[in-house]
Amino acid sequence: MSQSIQDFGIEKSLSNLGISAENKGVSSGGKYFANGDLLESYSPTDGKLIGKVTTANTADYDQVIETAKKAYVEFRQIPAPKRGELVRQFGLKLREYKDDLGKLVSYEMGKSFQEGLGEVQEMIDICDYAVGLSRQLHGYTMHSERPGHRMYEQYHPLGIIGIISAFNFPVAVWSWNTALAWICGNVTIWKPSEKAPLCGIACQNIITEVLKENNLPEGISTMIVGDHVIGDKMVNDKNVALISFTGSTKVGRIVGTNVAQRFGKSILELGGNNAIIFTENADLNMSIIGAVFGAVGTAGQRCTSTRRLIIHESIFEDVKNRLVKAYGQIKIGNPLDENNHVGPLIDQQAVQQYLDSIEKCKKEGGKFVVEGGVLEGENYESGCYVKPCIAEVENSYEIVQHETFAPILYIMKYKTLDEAIAMQNDVPQGLSSAIMTTDMRQAELFLSQNGSDCGIANVNIGTSGAEIGGAFGGEKETGGGRESGSDVWKYYMRRQTNTINYTDSLPLAQGIKFDL
């Protein structure tokens, strides 16, 4: 590449994070072990081997479960504000390691270094949020219909929380779940993506420091690197009270079904097919920026990436021309180089899916106004760098109805806002959505019960990204789960209604008499 990886200090960052050439893919918060197969992690940035990880086998999994069960018995007894102190210290450690961890995220996953740093900042932010929340795990008090009785609700921890995360956010999604799970009194088992295992090991190394410094038991935070066999065990294990799964709708449907069959709980964060509506009243200067960043950021590998632009017919040609000009300025290359906007796709399989989607779009009648393709040459040795592209399509195309996890943007026309909203909603997914308009009435309609059917609906900002203070998640085939802020902490607890009789009599319901 134009600059060697050594120029960006990646080797030093790996060392600082405790990543070596050979790593154990199981940690119970202090003890590192694994007895499964060897997993190699290659960087999509330059195609080079970063490190090897010994994965878990089923016996390793059973040991992790037993360690977590023992830790839970002790951890749930610790007052919530004290558990918040653990999370506060973890947030401080993340600040110390922010540059190193952000660099590893960028190198192992392929997103830009700026986005890698942003992902670690999300971890810090959720820790700050959870610390405050640890003193606010409140219930409700209500009046009883019976004299001399008091009623209230309270929340208790669930037990073991299983987290199965995806490659595109290899560290942040884990933190969204685990910071809240911990302050609620749960312990966690994390299965990071097999495509970014070293990011998982680095995070576990950081929290292990905090656990040791506070003399807390192993098993509060456990990590297990493994294949689908380990994932299946987690999903079907009655010891795991809740499964938080991030991934495809196809796999999520299996996860949700299997967890429900054992009456467990699940949080499903699945596919997105996100649209921005450009009305005739849109401020195009800011709207184009939002659309381009949403479409090409993380090389289109966000669940909130902008997939579709629904553009009013009166401004369609103008918007199209502006997009073509903007795409001509995108710099593609080494994501550690902050001069570049777009890095590689995660692997060759993703590249092939990108190419297949382009061909399918063309066969259905899509007209590419910005052509795609795989980049070649000395700066793209890994073979994972592709061109962000734009296709003029109809919303009804089969390829448009599917989530394309790549930088392919579909653009289409509309006449009335009602038509645009119907197009926006006329896909199986329901994660993120946006409208660009300076008309208050249009904005309010979009946010009303007659508007977007997505879990996230924005006005004059794009579809990608979300603040940790709000609940994150979607509807329909996106799964219906919620993570991060708002009152999401309740997902990680069981709800209990309590009634206290402080009289010397026992009145029965409906005035029934039962004298002995």
Residues with catalytic function: 269
Report how far Cα 395 is from the mean position of its chain's Cα atoms.
Answer: 26
Tokens, residue 365: 């009648």
SS3 516: coil
Residue 25 CA neighbour count, 13 Å, CB half: 29
- Alpha-carbon gap, residue 350 to 196, rounded angstroms: 14
Residue linked to tokens 């004299």:
147
Instruction: Show the 3-state SS of 446-471.
Output: HHCCCCCCCCEEEECCCCCCCCCCCE
Contacts of 321 (CB under 8 A, 6+ apart): none
Report how far Cα 439 is from the mean position of its chain's Cα atoms.
Answer: 32
Tell which residue, 428, 93, 9, has the closest CA to residue 252: 428
Residue type, 159: G
- Which strands, in side-by-side order, build the sheet including 265-269? 32-33, 26-27, 221-224, 187-191, 160-164, 240-246, 265-269
- Alpha-carbon gap, residue 245 to 272, rounded angstroms: 14
- Which strands, in side-by-side order, build the sheet including 149-157? 141-143, 149-157, 493-501
Tokens, residue 214: 């506070």
Bridge partner list, 268: 245
Q: Cα-flanking dihedrals φ and ψ of residue 271, to 5°?
A: -70, 155
Q: In terms of C-beta density within 10 A (0-12 exposed, 13-18 middle, 19 or more buried), how is residue 254 classed?
A: middle
Tell which residue, 164, 207, 158, has the closest CA to residue 187: 158
- Alpha-carbon gap, residue 173 to 481, rounded angstroms: 13
Residue type, 302: R
Tell which residue, 275, 293, 300, 291, has the closest CA to residue 357: 300
SS3 58: helix
- Alpha-carbon gap, residue 441 to 448, rounded angstroms: 10
159-165-171 Cα angle (round to 5): 100
Beta-sheet pairing, 240-246 with 265-269: parallel
SS3 116: helix
Contacts of 74 (CB under 8 A, 6+ apart): 217
